[in-house]
Amino acid sequence: MLAQPGQQGGNNARLQIQGERQSGQDVRTQNALAVSAIANIVKTSLGPVGLDKMLVDDVGEVTVTNDGATILKLLEVEHPAAKILVELAELQDAEVGDGTTSVVILAAELLKRANELVKNQIHPTNIISGYRLAMREACKFIDAHMAIKTETLGKETLINCAKTAMSSKIVGSDDDFFAQLVVDAMLSVKTISELNGNVLYPVQSINVLKAHGKSARESCLLNGYALNLARAAQGMPRRVQQAKIACLDMNLMKARMMMGVQVLVSDPKELEKIREREFDITSERIKMILAAGANVILTTKGIDDTALKYFVEAGAIACRRVPKDDLKRIAKSTGATVIVSMADMEGNETFDPSALGYAEEVVEERVADDNMVMVKGSKLARATTMLLRGANDYMLDEMDRAIHDSLCVVKRVLESGKVVAGGGAVEAALSVFLENFATTLGSREQLAIGEFANSALVLPKTLAVNAAKDATELIAALRAFHYKAQTSPDCKHMAQFGLDLVEGKVRNNVEAGVLEPSMSKVKMIQFATEAAITILRIDDLIRLQPSQDDQE
């Protein structure tokens, strides 16, 4: 029990709290420490020479990964401020797909420097308004001076962006091959929105399948949406042209009585009739579906073995236990409706032919060591399947994460049409720009913006340290280039200079093909600033103790 003195009705009564309270500087320092600890875990995995983490959970499940969002998701974080960073990485993953490690490192650095300013008697509100101003100016600067329109760069840009995204991942050694694969997959699912006519590239239309064996370079693109399962019976045809697809989320097993329903039978002969009727219900349903014209039936539940003969006789392909996500995607791309029940408003069972989807063909193919059912030539949206090969599960899972990040990056570049130079170029340019901008202000925000400028340098510094290079020297050289680019008009091209981490020198990263979507950088700065501000606002931590009743 902790008592805090409080004013109550003029006399000095004591405030009773079941728990403990920390306030002021203690809480800020504690939060900054917790956030730094989380950032330090992912820090070494940043960049093309970043290292991987092996995470083992409580049941001994092993994950080997380099992806910031995955690492943080698997850590069971206790501290409330540190949890904000985990959510931050997930947000960046959902919005952009890449840059999850950078956003966490930047947020932690911003918070650490803000905490130092508070110790020097600057009010958190001043720091927050300074950070907000710096964030707005930084985003404007990236759009105006750093972003390069992709129309001027061609298809090579997409491949370079995909390579940059996968440079730090397990597939980085074969980046030429995988970048080409990713770009081809993304371009093949181009769709035009019916609402506003915008061109969209849905990542969901690309199904990633993983199969053991062979080398990573034998991964390939399959035309169509592949289901990792075979036909339900061998007597069914392997190929159906002009497929009409029924997507069912219901059982085609023998109909059973509902739980709790009792039927009293006086004559044993009636039992057989009940059994027959139970089976007839299922066969009537199947006949209804086939009568509507369906020749491919996909269901998430089971199909009775005795019921399979109807499909075989009708020359239709049926697949059971289709994963729900796959069923939804196939329904979306073929224009089918997922049927949960065949009951209509009157209580009778009907099957509406308009619920069927259409594809040019559905075919069972042998891919790797398994049979797969491929849906090709869907009516609405194109779908592509990427088959990844690799030595073991850990490698395949990490390849899947790397490919997903690259797909998201290519999607962002295609949709936004703007890229920026990678390798710390944007951060160094922002640092120089914000330092100069800070000196034009006469208010206390100047100090906060100065710290924001220094925080931006944490990313190129970390990149250099991870590459075992002299960070101090490289950053000084990089800043000199960017200072020139912003002060003398004939050195404008120097704004594209970033770090070359293999050689340990500064070079033009646009020419070297190290590119990232500008949206990734803008979102990273916005999210990191917001997260730092959220944690900086906290000045009181009241941790309640569980009451006696809860403990009992």
Q: What is the pLDDT of residue 253?
A: 77
Task: Return the amino acid letter for 440.
Answer: T
- Please give the pLDDT value at position 449: 93
Provide the pLDDT confidence category of residue 552 given band limits of 50, 70 and 90. low
pLDDT-derived band at 417 (thresholds 50, 70, 90) equals confident
Which residues in 449-513 belong to E strands, given as ranges? 497-500, 505-508
Q: Which of 175, 326, 397, 405 is catalytic?
A: 405
Q: Which two tokens stand for residue 365?
A: 């193919």
Average pLDDT over residues 146-165: 82
Closest CA to 23 of 6, 42, 45, 47: 6
Going by the DSSP 8-state scheme, the letter that residue 58 receives in this structure is: T
Higher pLDDT, 228 or 36: 36
Above 60 in pLDDT, residue 12?
Answer: no
pLDDT of residue 153: 62
Q: Has 176 been annotated as catalytic?
A: no
What integer best gives the mean pLDDT of the chain?
A: 85
Whether 58 is catalytic is: no
Lowest mean pLDDT among 141-145, 255-259, 336-340, 410-414: 255-259
Total number of residues shown for the chain: 552
* Residue 135 pLDDT greater than 70, yes or no: yes
How confident is the model over 73-105, as pLDDT tens digits?
A: 888 888 888 888 899 889 888 888 888 899 999
CATH 1.10.560.10 in the chain: give the residue spans. Answer: 19-149+421-544
Annotated catalytic residue within 63, 70, 101, 282: 101
The fold of the 224-381 domain, in CATH, is GroEL (3.50.7)
Q: What is the pLDDT of residue 534?
A: 92
Task: For 19-149+421-544, give the CATH class.
Answer: mainly alpha
Q: Which of 464, 467, 507, 405 is nearest to 49 (CA)?
A: 467
Q: Is 345 left (phi over 0), alpha (psi -120 to 50) or beta?
A: alpha
Given the residues 63, 65, 67, 98, select the one marked as catalytic: 67
Q: Is residue 10 predicted with pLDDT exceeding 50?
A: no
Read off the tokens for 307: 């019921």
Q: What is the helix (H) or strand (E) element at residue 42, kind and residue range?
A: helix 25-43
**98 noted as active-site residue:** no
Radius of gyration of the chain (CA): 30
DSSP code of residue 152 = G
- Token pair listed for 306: 């005795």
pLDDT, tens digit, for every residue of 198-257?
A: 888 888 888 888 888 788 888 888 888 888 888 888 888 888 888 888 888 888 777 666
Residue ranges in 292-421 assigned as alpha helix (H) = 308-314, 324-334, 393-416
What band does 533 get if pLDDT is binned at 50, 70 and 90? very high
Q: What are the angstrom distances between the C-alpha of 37 and each of 33, 40, 104, 139, 211?
A: 6, 5, 11, 28, 37
Beta 317-319 vs 338-339: how paired, if at all?
A: unpaired
Pairing of strands 239-248, 296-299: parallel
Going 284 to 288 to 290 to 294, the CA torsion angle's sign is negative
Span 501-514, average pLDDT: 87
Does 100 qualify as catalytic in the annotation? yes
Distance CA 424, CA 493 (A): 15
Catalytic pick among 100, 282, 384, 529 = 100
Mapped onto helix, strand or coil, the DSSP state of residue 8 is strand
Range scoring the smallest mean pLDDT among 146-155, 229-238, 389-398 = 146-155
> What was the pLDDT predicted at 434?
92
- According to the model, what pLDDT value does residue 140 have? 92
Q: Where in the chain is the domain with CATH 3.50.7.10?
A: 224-381
